[in-house]
Structure formats: C-alpha cells, structure tokens
C-alpha cells in the first residue's frame, strides 16, 4: 500500500484525476474511510460540532485536535492525514502558529495541517511552511469566522469578496501551500480558481469543477437526520439503520430474546 503524499495530490491535479477527501475524528471511522480508498482524510475542527455537539467550531482546543489526530493516524495506512489548526491557535503571530503546528505534527504523526484565511495570516502560514510542514489553505466560508459572517450562507457572491478570494488563493499558492479548500462559494468562481492555480483545489459546496471534493463523513453517511444542506449527498441513512438496531436490541433485552443459549456460557 503506497502512502499518499502532498506530491501525489499535486500529480493528480496534473493528470486530471479527481481527489477525494472526507473528515474523520476517531480510530474506527478513520479505518473505514481509509479502507474505502480515499486519498486524504481531514481531522477537521468540525469535530467540535460532530463529536462534541458544539454549535460552532470555536470551542475545540489544540489538545482536543491532537487527541483526534492521534486516533486517526493510528488507523490510517494509505491516505494523507491533514489536521485543522483550531481557532485561536495561529492568528495572533507566526510564533504561536509555528508552535501549534509543530505540536500537532510531533504529537500526532499527521502529515499536514490546514489553516483558515488568506492575507491576514500570511506571516503565520510562512512560519509554518518554513519549518517544513505542508500547509493546506481554506478560503470562502471559513467556519471559524462565523461570528463575523453572521450566517452559514454562500460566500463571495459579490464582486469585491470574489476578488479578495482570488487574490488570497493566489497568495496561498505563492507562499507554498500544497492545496486549498474552497467552502460554499459559487461554482463558476471555484472553477476559475481551480483553472488559474497549479495546486489542487478541494471543494465543499463549490461545484463540480474543482480538483477534488471534501465532505464531513457523518453527513455522507446520513448520521444526523436533521442536517441536510444542499451540498451534501447522503450515501447511507445510518440514522435510521442505527436507531432501528438499537430499538431492536432494546426489544430483545426486554423480551429476554437476547442473549440466547449460543450467546451464553
């Protein structure tokens, strides 16, 4: 099994093969995701929502992210493991950013980090890159800025925001980021950026013309019946499967159907 690297993803862009990425936050799910044949697994700070039930990604800490990343790295044999730098661990200055990224790499064994923002955090990105850590950018709807945006609506609909996004994407490429996630922006803007940049662009809610796609694995598996944004495709209805399995177990316990003779000592 050949390990996927940041170089593999760059080559895939050149050859035109689309890149598939999903999130994972724990050992068991990461093992399933890796065995499914993904190129990249993102230990997203969406763990704050999905694993811990917070309303936003802001509360998750560097220690929490390292714990999730360690669990994922133990499971993954092939995919590239990328870890989000959480809110408040890189924005203040390059030294803070460097220290946070180094902790993730040293303590988890992951292969790259992801960071939200452009021009505003360019010194932080530079200092991480200078230490030899591959950096994935993240532009568009950056959930750590939800309090500034005020909603999870589509970003970069207006010309000024679209122009800033294009210049940020070019800056990230110039700094040396190996890839960029574009979240919830118009498809034609994502297509233009994917065409103009030579590093792979991974989209979520950004149309079909990016170099790859990313989703939260719990969304694709249909684990939360109340969460159904337009950009998610549900490949399973695990909410129903799991609640039905649990309720069958409850019935079997109450009726003394479980455990039977073969299941007992």
Contacts for 172 with CB less than 8 Å, ≥ 6 apart: 118, 125, 137, 139, 180, 199
Asked if residue 114 belongs to a known ligand binding site, the reply is yes
**Minimum distance, C-beta of residue 57 to Na ion, in the bound complex (Å):** 6
Q: Which does 219 bind (CB under 5 to 8 A by kind): ligand KIV, Na ion, none?
A: none
Cα–Cα distance for residue pair 40/169, rounded to 1 Å: 20
Q: Are strands 179-183 and 80-84 parallel, antiparallel or unpaired?
A: unpaired
**Minimum distance, C-beta of residue 44 to Na ion, in the bound complex (Å):** 4
Asked if residue 116 belongs to a known ligand binding site, the reply is yes
Residue from 194, 184, 189, 172 nearest 140 by CA: 184
Residue 214 interacts with ligand KIV (CB under 6 A)? yes
Active site residue 183: yes
Asked if residue 46 belongs to a known ligand binding site, the reply is yes
8 A C-beta contact, residue 25 and residue 50: yes
Q: Which does 23 bind (CB under 5 to 8 A by kind): Na ion, ligand KIV, none?
A: ligand KIV
Secondary structure string (H, E, C) spanning 66-102: HHHHHHHHHHCCCCEEEEECCCCCCCCCHHHHHHHHH
From 27-35, 82-90, 156-164, 207-215, span contacting Na ion (CB under 5 A): 82-90
Cα–Cα distance for residue pair 22/5, rounded to 1 Å: 16
Asked if residue 211 belongs to a known ligand binding site, the reply is no
Q: How many residues bind Na ion (CB under 5 A)?
A: 3
Residue 84 interacts with Na ion (CB under 5 A)? yes
| Residue 154: DSSP 8-state | P
Measured from each CB, the residue nearest to ligand KIV is 44
Cα–Cα distance for residue pair 20/177, rounded to 1 Å: 18
Residue from 9, 29, 30, 46 in contact with ligand KIV (CB under 6 A): 46
Q: Which does 181 bind (CB under 5 to 8 A by kind): ligand KIV, Na ion, none?
A: ligand KIV
Count of Cβ atoms closer than 10 Å to residue 154 Cβ: 16
Residue 113 interacts with ligand KIV (CB under 6 A)? no
**Minimum distance, C-beta of residue 222 to ligand KIV, in the bound complex (Å):** 17
Residue from 39, 45, 173, 219 in contact with ligand KIV (CB under 6 A): 45
Cα dihedral across residues 104, 106, 108, 112: positive or negative = positive
Give the interface with ligand KIV as residue ranges (CB under 6 A). Answer: 23, 42, 44-46, 84, 181, 183, 204, 214, 216
Binding-site residue positions: 45-46, 84, 114, 116
Active site residues: 183
Binding-site residue positions for 3-methyl-2-oxobutanoate: 45-46, 84, 114
């Amino acid at each position: 099994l050949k390990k996927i690297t940041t170089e593999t993803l760059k080559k895939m862009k050149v050859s035109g093969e689309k890149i598939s990425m999903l999130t994972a936050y724990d050992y068991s799910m990461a093992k399933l995701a890796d065995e499914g044949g993904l190129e990249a697994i993102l230990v997203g700070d969406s763990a704050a929502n999905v694993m811990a039930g917070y309303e936003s990604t802001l509360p998750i800490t560097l220690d929490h992210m390292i714990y999730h990343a360690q669990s994922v790295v133990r499971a993954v044999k092939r995919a590239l493991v990328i870890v989000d730098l959480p809110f408040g661990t890189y924005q203040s200055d390059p030294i803070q950013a460097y220290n946070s990224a180094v902790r993730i790499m040293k303590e988890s064994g992951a292969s790259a980090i992801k960071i939200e923002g452009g021009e505003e955090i360019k010194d932080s990105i530079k200092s991480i890159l200078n230490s030899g850590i591959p950096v994935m950018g993240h532009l568009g709807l950056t959930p750590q800025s939800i309090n500034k945006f005020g909603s999870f609506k589509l970003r970069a609909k207006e010309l000024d925001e679209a122009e800033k996004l294009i210049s940020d994407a070019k800056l990230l490429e110039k700094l040396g980021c190996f890839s960029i996630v574009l979240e919830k922006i118009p498809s034609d803007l994502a297509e233009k950026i994917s065409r103009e940049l030579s590093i792979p662009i991974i989209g979520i809610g950004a149309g079909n013309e990016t170099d790859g796609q990313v989703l939260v694995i719990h969304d694709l598996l249909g684990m939360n019946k109340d969460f159904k944004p337009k950009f998610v495709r549900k490949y399973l209805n695990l909410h129903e499967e799991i609640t039905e399995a649990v309720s069958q177990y409850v019935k079997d316990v109450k009726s003394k159907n479980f455990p039977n003779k073969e299941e007992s000592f």
